[in-house]
Amino acid sequence: MKITVVQGAFLPVPPIMGGGVEKVWSALTQEFARLGHSVTHVSRRHPQLPDAETRDGVRHVRLPGFDSPRGMLRRQCEDLLYSLRAVRALPDADILVTNTFWLPLLVRNPRHGKIYVHVARYPKRQMRLYRRAARLQAVSNPVADAVRAQVPALAHKVCALPNPLPSAQYHVSPQPTSQPPVILYLGRVHPEKGLELLLRAVAKLPVPHQLRIVGPWQTEFGGGGEAFYQSLRALAAPERVQFTGPLFGAAELNAQFDAATLFVYPSLAEKGETFGLAPLEAMARSRVALVSDLACFRDFLRAGENGFVFDHRAADPVAGLARQLGELLAAPERLAAFAPRAYATAKEFELPTVATRYLADFQSLLA
């Protein structure tokens, strides 16, 4: 098959500036190419990357893009400009995958391929615009259900296919024995991620610990900005909390997972989280995850079986999270018992397995 994937206007591929969607499709396109398919990947231009190259069997085309803006209107305008550039760069293809807002509306030539809309966030009101799309592919069952609810007439075009993890992510890593135990959060440093709640909860822990927060706070990387970052630092005890800033290299990120005693992802984004890639990445490194009670995590994390969940909607979520953190950190043997179950679940999302499911769906559209 000839497959084109068009990313958004704000991050390049390979994901040297981060980005969960960019990371996912960078891995998928490489796997498609390895299996013999012709793949073109369109993304934002970056000074460290050539405008055109073939890398790992994938043809890359990089176009002028933008730093991630604060306002939604400006974001949509910049996405439109970028999408117009992308239309002019599209090769002939069988399948055209995109997560941009405007591109499914702008592509009219069937030679560019059947339009495959990758729904990486909860839909707002845009799904009804994509009636010409061949597929509306959600990354989790809750997102797929939300799309069907928004556009019942297009329910037959909706499917749920998960994000994959690259094979290099997997490692049966023993629990660290260093003290004090390390609580790890890895993701964007943004208000919707529940980091204020996490900081207030760890402040209540009676046992010594270290909280490590890994991720970007800068708005150009999707963070909450300088003021929010400083507000978190004001809550943090310097001797107990470390802000590392963004880390984008796979080896650096894996080292953070391996050094952690417990991975915590306290997101409050009821309609912002759609899959929960970071907890699954932690599970692939044999780390047990404690997450908030968002529906998207239920596609892979089962409370009391392969991980843990706290009720972020409780009357006092800080106390509830602090209690669970204390119980888990005081029971390393329990974490050790859960680690193989977490790892086994993550193996179900290995890249070759998930890529084969995508290719089968592409083929079903062509058939």
pLDDT tens, 37-73? 999 999 999 999 999 999 999 999 999 999 877 688 8
User: What's the fold here for domain 167-347?
Assistant: Rossmann fold (3.40.50)
pLDDT band at 276 (very low <50, low <70, confident <90, very high): confident
Q: Where in the chain is the domain with CATH 3.40.50.2000?
A: 2-164+350-366, 167-347
Amino acid at 12: P
Q: Are 282 and 257 in contact (CB under 8 A)?
A: yes
pLDDT exceeds cutoff 90 at 233: yes
Amino acid at 177: T
Indicate the CATH number for domain 2-164+350-366.
Answer: 3.40.50.2000
Q: How far is CA 153 from CA 110, 127, 130, 157, 247, in A?
A: 22, 11, 11, 9, 42
Q: Are 297 and 291 in contact (CB under 8 A)?
A: yes
pLDDT exceeds cutoff 90 at 34: yes
